[in-house]
Amino acid sequence: MSRPARCLKLLLSLNSRASLVSSRPVIGTRQYAQSALKVRSDDCQTASRTRTPTRRPREERVEEGQEEEEDNFDSRGSWSKEVQCGTKFTDHLNGVFPGLQFPPELARRILTHASHQTATNGHNASLSFIGRRVLDSYLHLFLTSSSTLTPEHDLEDIAYRTLHTYALGEHVGSKWGLGRSLQWVPAIAREVREQVKAQPDSPDLRKVGLYKVQGDAVTAVMGGIFFQFGGSVAHRVFHTRLLPCMLVKGALHEAFHRDALLACDRMGGPEGRLVVNSSTKNVAH
């Protein structure tokens, strides 16, 4: 069959389909609307008959001994129990970083690991992602501006060792005491967990995963500070509170220790102010 013949056959087929559609009876607009309303009415009646009965008054349930613990929510949808104990997160971070006032919700997210049961209301993974990039940027700026940098230095290896999650958790997270307020659940049996908790200096801490979650919390702290207080404050925290803790074997390369200490001193030292001059936002009065 030639191409024109195939086109003619296709056109005739389309015309025949159109005639069949046009020959079907058309329901009027009013008739269609009335039918839809009738179906909707029938559905509502069925739903009302099958609706779950409302909860009985609390007094009746108490009398029958069927009262269950009620979960109360605040206006933001968070558990009220968490809101009440949320001050421990802000108190901890405000104590570690004097001069900064962490909002309760931000502090709770920073110190909540994804393994905890309350992580459904928000955890520190996204803040940790931001903080990791902030630390990478500040460290590379410091290394490339150091007078001790030579072509033999491998910047990628130095950054890897300095910002390794376990190293941050062991040296910085422990210094900041994050483990005391951090919400997380180790992937080990409860008996082993209790034994490790009874021995804070136990070498099993690395196996349990404390240094790992503390390292994630450290990067989350940096992400939260960068997000809430700005890059200038985060930069001071990096040089005065974080990098000095990494002047240990296996972390920051020894060639850069002197420059790290000089940078810390220029910014006021380990106890220096984090917010200075015109940066008055979110400052404790």
Question: How much is the pLDDT for 278?
Answer: 53
pTM over 0.85: no
Cβ count near 94 (within 10 Å): 16
The tens-digit pLDDT sequence of the chain (285 residues) is: 555 455 545 545 545 544 444 444 444 444 544 554 454 455 545 544 544 444 455 445 444 444 333 333 233 333 334 444 568 999 999 999 999 999 999 999 999 999 898 898 899 999 999 999 999 999 999 999 999 999 999 999 999 999 999 999 999 999 999 989 999 888 766 666 666 656 655 555 555 688 999 999 999 999 999 999 999 999 999 999 999 999 999 999 999 999 999 999 999 999 999 998 754 444 444
In angstroms, rounded to a whole number, what is the distance separating the alpha carbons of residues 64 and 24? 64
Q: Which of 241, 249, 245 is nearest to 267 (CA)?
A: 241
Question: How much is the pLDDT for 186?
Answer: 80
* Assigned token pair, 253: 């390369």
**Domain at 82-267, CATH homologous superfamily:** Ribonuclease III domain (1.10.1520.10)
Helices (H), the chain: 3-22, 29-50, 58-63, 80-85, 87-96, 104-110, 125-145, 155-162, 165-167, 174-175, 190-198, 205-208, 210-229, 231-237, 257-266
CB 243 within 8 A of CB 252: yes
Per-domain boundaries in the chain:
82-267
CB 112 within 8 A of CB 222: no
Question: How much is the pLDDT for 266?
Answer: 95
Radius of gyration of the CA atoms of the chain, in A = 32
The residues facing 283 across adjacent strands are: 100
Output the CA angle 225-228-233, nearest 5 degrees.
50
Question: How much is the pLDDT for 70?
Answer: 34
